[in-house]
């Protein structure tokens, strides 16, 4: 009678162990970041103001929430927020959005060891801010094979910094990510954090930024 009990206990424990293994690999947010800078001045008392690139977003409560995130990053760099755009030395133009999503196919089944998920694993090089994707999905822990559909959303932010004294464009940056969520409330903060990682970066360089959700640490991946 002992052996069947052990076997039953092992079977019951297996899903828990698998779940624990998956939870240990906490999901991470990956964004492709492209930045271009000319003569962005080092912080020496300059003031800034964050404004909406899209006039329809200006004055909105949602835009104000995300603009505050950008302002926090600018302040962390050493710039001071101006009382109004007319008083600012630097005008920070900000825009954000998410597309309507694209349907993708997910195939599940018992197969080779390992776990592959395009949203947690590395992306292919040459992303180039495209909005078309062809991902695959292999999950050895689900019985199958089965084919299911799911939706991939592409979110992005754009940031431009202009000198109010000369009108010169000092910085342009973009951050874009693919995910299975279209909730801007969770996407935009991660995109902003990715864009300001090692700011202003190397002009003309596009790189992958990974944000670990469990530890909230950021690292770069070429």
Q: How confident is the model at residue 150 (pLDDT cuts 50, 70, 90)?
A: confident
pLDDT digits (tens, 9 = 90+) for 188-204: 999 999 999 999 989 99
Distance CA 2, CA 5 (A): 5
User: Tokens 């959303």, residue?
Assistant: 153
Q: How many domains does the chain have?
A: 1
Does 143 reside within a domain?
no
- State residue 132's pLDDT score: 38
Does 33 reside within a domain?
yes
Does 58 reside within a domain?
yes
Encoded tokens for 64: 């104000």
The domain containing residue 164 runs over which residues?
26-99+155-221
Distance CA 126, CA 146 (A): 30
Distance CA 105, CA 136 (A): 7
The DSSP secondary-structure symbol of 138 reads B
Distance CA 209, CA 176 (A): 10
Does 137 reside within a domain?
no
Does 195 reside within a domain?
yes
Does 165 reside within a domain?
yes
Does 112 reside within a domain?
no
Rounded to the nearest angstrom, the gap between the alpha carbon of residue 156 and the centroid of all alpha carbons in its chain is: 8
Encoded tokens for 174: 């973009």
- State residue 18's pLDDT score: 38
Distance CA 4, CA 8 (A): 6
Give the residue from 175, 138, 123, 137 showing the smallest Cα distance to 154: 175
Crossing angle of helices 61-77 and 184-195, in 10° steps, is 20
Distance CA 41, CA 138 (A): 48
Mean pLDDT estimate for the chain: 76
Distance CA 208, CA 222 (A): 6
pLDDT digits (tens, 9 = 90+) for 87-135: 999 999 999 999 988 888 776 655 444 444 444 343 333 334 443 333 3
How far is residue 81 from each of residues 34, 68, 84, 93, 168, measured CA to CA in Å?
A: 25, 10, 8, 14, 19
Residue 178, domain CATH: 3.30.160.670
């Amino acid at each position: 009678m002992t052996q069947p009990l052990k076997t039953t206990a092992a079977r019951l424990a297996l899903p828990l162990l698998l779940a624990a293994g998956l939870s240990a690999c906490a999901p991470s947010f990956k964004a492709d970041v492209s930045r271009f800078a000319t003569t962005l001045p080092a912080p020496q008392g300059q003031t800034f103001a964050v404004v909406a690139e899209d006039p329809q977003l200006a004055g909105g409560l949602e835009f104000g929430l995300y603009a505050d995130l950008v302002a926090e990053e600018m302040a962390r760099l050493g710039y001071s927020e101006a009382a109004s755009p007319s008083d600012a030395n630097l005008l920070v133009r900000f825009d954000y959005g998410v597309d309507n999503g694209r349907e993708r196919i997910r195939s599940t089944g018992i197969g080779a060891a390992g776990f592959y998920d395009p949203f947690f694993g590395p992306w292919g090089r040459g992303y180039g801010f495209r909005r078309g994707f062809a991902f695959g999905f292999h999950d050895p822990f689900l019985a199958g094979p089965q084919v299911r559909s799911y939706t991939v959303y592409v979110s992005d932010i754009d940031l431009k910094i202009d000198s109010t004294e000369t009108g010169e464009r000092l910085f342009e940056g973009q951050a874009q990510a693919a995910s299975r969520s279209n909730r801007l409330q969770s996407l935009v903060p991660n995109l902003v954090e990715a864009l300001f990682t090692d700011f202003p970066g190397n002009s003309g360089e596009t790189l992958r930024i990974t944000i670990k959700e469990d530890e909230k640490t950021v690292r770069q991946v070429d």
